[in-house]
Amino acid sequence: MNYGQFLNMIPEATLMAILVIVFIVDFAFKNSAKKHEALYLVSGLLLLGQIVPCAVADATSAFGGLYVTTSAVNVMKLILTAGTLVVVIMAQPWLRKEEIRNKEGEFYMLVISTLLGMYMMMSSGHFLMFFLGLEMASVPMACLVAFDKMRQNSAEGAAKFILTATFSSGVMLFGLSFIYGAVGTLYFEDVVNAIVTTPLTIMGLVFFFSGLGFKISLVPFHFWTADTYQGAPTAVTGYLSVVSKGAAAFALMTILMKVFGPMIDVWQPLLYIVIVLSITVANLFALRQSELKRFMAFSSISQAGYIMLAVVGNSSMGIASLTYYVLVYVVANMAVFTVISLVENNNGGTTEMDAYNGLYTTNPKLSFLMTLALFSLAGIPPFAGMFSKFFVFMAAAEQGSFWAYFVVFIALINTVASLYYYLLIVKAMYIKNAEHPLPTFKSDCDSKVALALCTAGILAFGVCSCIFDWIVQNA
């Protein structure tokens, strides 16, 4: 084996080095009062520097096609790394709590391990490599969900997550065994050249899609989402809803296009059904929620349906639209979760929607930033969310069939419904009165930085067309 091929895996190699460095810093400052500051500084700066390898890495392959990366994959790695950095910044108030304070090192290492698994998953050229990356991303995520072990909801959410993740992984492996039995290989390039539509390959495709549909929380594989989002620490919920979902959606799109392209007549109708169900069912259930993290769980299921619209087009425009949608979704959703975290920390740990009644009267700036983020998620112009939805609609409509137009039409109708339930939060902040509204409080510096980064993205990504042009060029 030529170990020099590891040099082709520059983003993964540098992220692995970051993981080792964080471990050493955690061990070196084990009994130091400056442990929190040291870990935060090292992790934050190294994740910021990790953007550079992702930006400059070339399209390459290694180990006989086990590892394959493209410009589009490197762009997605850059976006997910930036999203992880925002999660690390917004998690600081929570990590400073007394019951968490001695476990910061584990948090950073689990987050980086999960990101490394997502890297491997997106750069795989072999189904075994893909599965290992997927599990490398999923197992540490279960630990993150259960990180706040003093809360019963956290342990319950982690138990549901790991049990359903195990079942979905088993289903996926069952499907991959069918694919291997049909074509005799698991290399993507060889599978696409040998695969034909037979009952065996159809079953393999359906099982594979079901397993990955769980990771993206598409309907009907979404039942774990609300309980896990509610039970997990808010910073972890933001990470799970944005970074993890974006990586899985991108991986599913590339595999459907690169590997199962000859079976498009099979998976495209399946995708139509799942998209319509995900958007519609999630919107209906979101209307009934009074707990904000459960509310955002159903919002994320709906957003997953919109993300998968880009796959319908089966084109480079679809890849660009999905990547751009994930970019905008990262900044908008992380802004919402940063506000949720601030309100939770200053209101006795509650995340009920009633806590936001009259918030504008006591914390107008925070209410305004929350409104901007919600408007972007709803797709209201001129915020970036409107452009991201437009591009995925356009990518789906490029397919040109009646059913593609029908799915886009259903998605457009559901956009109106989503606007209504996002405005419920705006109504609570600006219109509803409360006898004892949340008192005025001062946000910590780290949360201000996270909100500033996210708000700048919400306002800039829709206006600066060069960003989308850059993504299109790489796609």
**Confidence class of residue 385 from pLDDT cuts 50, 70 and 90?**
confident
Query: pLDDT tens digits for 32-82?
Result: 778 888 888 999 999 999 998 888 888 788 878 888 888 888 999 999 999
Lowest-confidence pick of 98-107, 129-138, 166-175, 176-185:
98-107
Q: Would you state the pLDDT for residue 78?
A: 92
Q: Would you state the pLDDT for residue 383?
A: 84
Query: pLDDT tens digits for 70-110?
Result: 888 899 999 999 999 999 999 888 888 877 777 888 899 99
Q: Would you state the pLDDT for residue 475?
A: 65
Q: What percent of the chain has pLDDT over 90?
A: 22
Q: Would you state the pLDDT for residue 85?
A: 93
Q: Would you state the pLDDT for residue 398?
A: 82
Residue 376 — φ and ψ, nearest 5°? Answer: -65, -45
Q: Residue 358: left (phi > 0), alpha (psi -120 to 50), or beta?
A: left
Q: Would you state the pLDDT for residue 215?
A: 84
Task: Please state whether the peptide bond connecting residue 11 to the residue before it is cis, i.e. omega within 30 degrees of 0.
Answer: no
H or E segment and range at residue 69: strand 67-69
Lowest-confidence pick of 83-87, 242-246, 266-270, 471-475:
471-475
Residue 352 — φ and ψ, nearest 5°? Answer: -70, 150
Dig out the tokens for 34 from the structure. 């400056």
Report the 10 Å Cβ neighbour count for 196. Answer: 10
Q: Would you state the pLDDT for residue 1?
A: 58
Q: Would you state the pLDDT for residue 414?
A: 87
Q: How many helices (H) and strands (E) does the chain have?
A: 21, 2
Paired residues of 60 in beta bridges = 69
Asked if residue 353 has pLDDT above 90, the reply is: no
Return the beta strands (E) in 183-288 as ranges. none
Q: Would you state the pLDDT for residue 273?
A: 92
Q: What percent of the chain has pLDDT over 70?
A: 98
Mean pLDDT of 455-460: 89
Q: Which residues contact 217 (CB under 8 A, 6 or more apart)?
A: 224, 225, 245, 300, 301, 304
**Confidence class of residue 277 from pLDDT cuts 50, 70 and 90?**
very high
State the Cα–Cα distance between residues 317 and 475, nearest whole angstrom: 7
**Residue 288 burial (10 A CB sphere; 0-12, 13-18, 19+):** exposed
DSSP string, 123-165: TBSBHHHHHHHHHHHHHHHHHHHT--TTSHHHHHHHHHHHHHH
**Confidence class of residue 319 from pLDDT cuts 50, 70 and 90?**
confident
Mean pLDDT of 128-140: 90
User: Which residue is listed with tokens 């998209």?
Assistant: 275
Q: Which residues contact 196 (CB under 8 A, 6 or more apart)?
A: 262
| Sequence letter at residue 251 | A
Asked if residue 222 has pLDDT above 90, the reply is: no
Mean pLDDT of 108-133: 91
Q: How far is CA 64 from CA 67, 193, 256, in A?
A: 8, 17, 21
Asked if residue 314 has pLDDT above 70, the reply is: no
Q: Would you state the pLDDT for residue 279?
A: 92
Question: Measuring CA to CA, which residue among 161, 141, 157 is closest to residue 149?
Answer: 157
Mean pLDDT, all residues of the chain: 86
Q: Would you state the pLDDT for residue 3?
A: 65
Asked if residue 397 has pLDDT above 80, the reply is: yes
Query: Is residue 331 a contact partner of residue 388, using CB atoms and an 8 Å limit?
Result: no
Query: Is residue 329 a contact partner of residue 310, using CB atoms and an 8 Å limit?
Result: no
